[in-house]
C-alpha cells in the first residue's frame, strides 16, 4: 500500500513482508535496521471501551506523549476499523485499532549467524549474543530468524528451544512444524541433554555441584530468584517458584575466574544464571546477578569496564547521529519522517548498542540418535 504524504512515498509493512539483506546498515560493529513503516494492530479490550482514542493511547502506550497521539489521530496514523476518526472518537470493545508508525528497531552486535548444519529437516546455527531468536517486543528483522531469511533465504524456520537474547551458542531450528513438534516432545519428556559453558567469578569447586533451588521469575523486574523450599509449622513444604535442577562441573580456573560446564536438567527462566549466583559464583559479566557479597572487587571492576564501554559507544553513537544528520545519502537510505519521535537516529530512544553478550554459551544438545554441537567462544579459555 503506497501513499504520498509531505512529498514522501510511504510503503506500509505488515508481518507478511519478509526481511531483506538491504534492510540492514552496519556501523562500528553494530547491526542496525533501516527504519520502516509498520502497522501495529490491536483490538480494543473491554476496559478501553468508552475512552477517547487519544486518551486510550496516552494512558496505555506511554512511549510517546499525548501531543504525538493527537497529531497521529488527526493525520490518520491512528485508525479505528480501518477508518480515520476524530480525536473525540470513543472506542468500543473489540474494535480493530491500527497504529501506523515509522518503526526503529533496537541495534544488535554485528556478528554473523553462522550456519553449523543445514539438513533437510533441521538447521543449526551459532547464535550471536545480543540478537533475539525470533520477533518479540521491538525486534522483528534484527532477529536470528529474520537475519537467516534475509541473508540466506531460509524460511520458514521453527526454533526448537530458547536462548535468551544475551546468550550465545547452539540454536536448533526445525524446517517444518512437524519436526519442531518432534523435538519439543523429546525435550518435554526429558530425553534431551543440554550443555552450556560459563565464565564465572572465583575459584569454582573441583567436585561437581548440583543445585536444586526452585526458580521464581519476577516478570516485572525481569529477573529470577533461587529459593529453597520453605516448611510451615506442620512440616509441609511451602513451594516458591518452579522446581529446577542444574549440575555444574569445573573445566578450569585461574583463581580469579573459572570456566564451568553447566547441565540444566530443567529449563526455567535465567536458571543457570541464578543458580550460579546462589552458590556464590555468578557469571563474571552478568550485571543482573553479580552480588556485592560474592566478590566486591570483581563487581567494581566490571562496573568500571561497563562504564568505559558505554562511554566509548556514546562517543561513536554521537558521531553516527551527526553523520546521519549531515549526510543526504544516508538520510535517503532510510528516510527521515517528520512525525517520528526517533528520527533522525537509526536506533530508537534508549538503545545505544553498547551492551555486551553474557559469558554464557550453549555448546551441545543431544537426544535419541542425534547430537548437535557448537564451537566454544573466544572467552572460554583462561
Question: Which of the residues are catalytic?
Answer: 164
Query: What is the radius of gyration, based on Cα positions, of the chain?
Result: 24
Collapsing DSSP to helix, strand or coil, 282 comes out as coil
Cα–Cα dist 175/169, whole Å: 19
Sign of CA dihedral 280, 282, 287, 289: negative
E-state strands within 49-167: 78-80, 83-84, 96-103, 108-109, 114-118, 122-127, 158-159
Collect all residues with Cβ–Cβ distance below 8 Å to 91 and sequence separation of at least 6.
44, 48, 49, 50, 51, 52, 53, 56, 80, 97
Cα–Cα dist 85/196, whole Å: 53
Distance set, CA 223 to CA 18, 26, 263, 286, 315 (Å): 33, 31, 20, 12, 30
Q: Taking a C-beta distance cutoff of 8 angstroms, is the pair 269, 217 a contact?
A: yes
Cα–Cα dist 79/334, whole Å: 25
Burial class (CB in 10 A: 0-12, 13-18, 19+), 358: buried
Q: Taking a C-beta distance cutoff of 8 angstroms, is the pair 78, 69 a contact?
A: yes
Q: Taking a C-beta distance cutoff of 8 angstroms, is the pair 175, 123 a contact?
A: yes
Cα–Cα dist 52/342, whole Å: 25
Query: Which run of H or of E encompasses 5?
Result: strand 2-5
Helix axes 66-74, 53-60, angle to 10 degrees: 140
Q: Which phi and psi (to 5°) does residue 178 adopt?
A: -65, -40
Amino acid at each position: 500500500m503506497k501513499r504520498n504524504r509531505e512529498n514522501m512515498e510511504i510503503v506500509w509493512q505488515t508481518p507478511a513482508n519478509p526481511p531483506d539483506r538491504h534492510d540492514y546498515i552496519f556501523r562500528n560493529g553494530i547491526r542496525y535496521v533501516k527504519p520502516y513503516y509498520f502497522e501495529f494492530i490491536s483490538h480494543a479490550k473491554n476496559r478501553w471501551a468508552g475512552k477517547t482514542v487519544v486518551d486510550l493511547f496516552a494512558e496505555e502506550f506511554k512511549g510517546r506523549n499525548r501531543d504525538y497521539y493527537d497529531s497521529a489521530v488527526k493525520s490518520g496514523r491512528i485508525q479505528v476499523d480501518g477508518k480515520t476518526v476524530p480525536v473525540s472518537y470513543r472506542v468500543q470493545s473489540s474494535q480493530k485499532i491500527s497504529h501506523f508508525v515509522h518503526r526503529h528497531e533496537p541495534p544488535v552486535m554485528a556478528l554473523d549467524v553462522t550456519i553449523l548444519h543445514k539438513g533437510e529437516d533441521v538447521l543449526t546455527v551459532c547464535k550471536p549474543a545480543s540478537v533475539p531468536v525470533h520477533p518479540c517486543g521491538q525486534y522483528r528483522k534484527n532477529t536470528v530468524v529474520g537475519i537467516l531469511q534475509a541473508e540466506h533465504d531460509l524460511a520458514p524456520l521453527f526454533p526448537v528451544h530458547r536462548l535468551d537474547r544475551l546468550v550465545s551458542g547452539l540454536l536448533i531450528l526445525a524446517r517444518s512444524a512437524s519436526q519442531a513438534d518432534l523435538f519439543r516432545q523429546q525435550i518435554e519428556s526429558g530425553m534431551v541433554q543440554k550443555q552450556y559453558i560459563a565464565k564465572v567469578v572465583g575459584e569454582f569447586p573441583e567436585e561437581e555441584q548440583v543445585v536444586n533451588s526452585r526458580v521464581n521469575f519476577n516478570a516485572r523486574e525481569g529477573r529470577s530468584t533461587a529459593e529453597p523450599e520453605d516448611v510451615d509449622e506442620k512440616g509441609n513444604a511451602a513451594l516458591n517458584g518452579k522446581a529446577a535442577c542444574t549440575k555444574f562441573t569445573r573445566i578450569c580456573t585461574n583463581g580469579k575466574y573459572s570456566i564451568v560446564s553447566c547441565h540444566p536438567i530443567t529449563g526455567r527462566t535465567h536458571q543457570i544464571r541464578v543458580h550460579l549466583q546462589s552458590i556464590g559464583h555468578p557469571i563474571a559479566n552478568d550485571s543482573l546477578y553479580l552480588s556485592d557479597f560474592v566478590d566486591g572487587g570483581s563487581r567494581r571492576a566490571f562496573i568500571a569496564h561497563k562504564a568505559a564501554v558505554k562511554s566509548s559507544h556514546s562517543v561513536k553513537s554521537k558521531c553516527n547521529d551527526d553523520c546521519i544528520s549531515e549526510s543526504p545519502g544516508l538520510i535517503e537510505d532510510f528516510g527521515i519522517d517528520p512525525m517520528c519521535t526517533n528520527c533522525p537516529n537509526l536506533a530508537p530512544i534508549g538503545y545505544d548498542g553498547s551492551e555486551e553478550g553474557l559469558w554464557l554459551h550453549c555448546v551441545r544438545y543431544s537426544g535419541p540418535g542425534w547430537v548437535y554441537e557448537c564451537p566454544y567462544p573466544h572467552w572460554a579459555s583462561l
